[in-house]
Amino acid sequence: MNIGIWQILIVALVVLVLFGRGRISEMMGDFGKGISSFKKGMNEADEPASKGRIEPPATPAAPAETPSVADKNETSGN
């Protein structure tokens, strides 16, 4: 099934009638801003050291101390 030029023009005309020229240009502007913001975010994620922000490595949490068997015997009174 091939889509011809007439089908594309009819769909474009229907979209233009439903949304209007102003709304379509507004949506395309928002779409362009979104893509620009996405590209800017990707560039910032790729180059954190060049921005002067060097984050220290995460330190592992210390394990919780558990009382030993000897400690339990002393506190129980045996």
pLDDT digit string (tens) for 39-78?
998 888 776 555 555 666 667 666 666 666 655 555 655 5
What is the residue range of 27's domain?
21-45
User: Is 69 part of any domain?
Assistant: no
- The whole model's pTM is what? 0.40
* Confidence at residue 20, expressed as pLDDT on a 0 to 100 scale: 83
Flag whether 32 is in a domain.
yes
Sequence-ordered strand ranges (E) for 1-78: none
Q: How many domains does the chain have?
A: 1
Q: Which helix (H) or strand (E) holds 34?
A: helix 21-46
pLDDT on residue 37: 93
Q: Is 50 within the bounds of a domain?
A: no
Looking at the domain assignment, is residue 36 inside a domain? Answer: yes
Residue with tokens 């922000």: 53
Residue at 60: amino acid letter: P
11 assigned to some structural domain = no
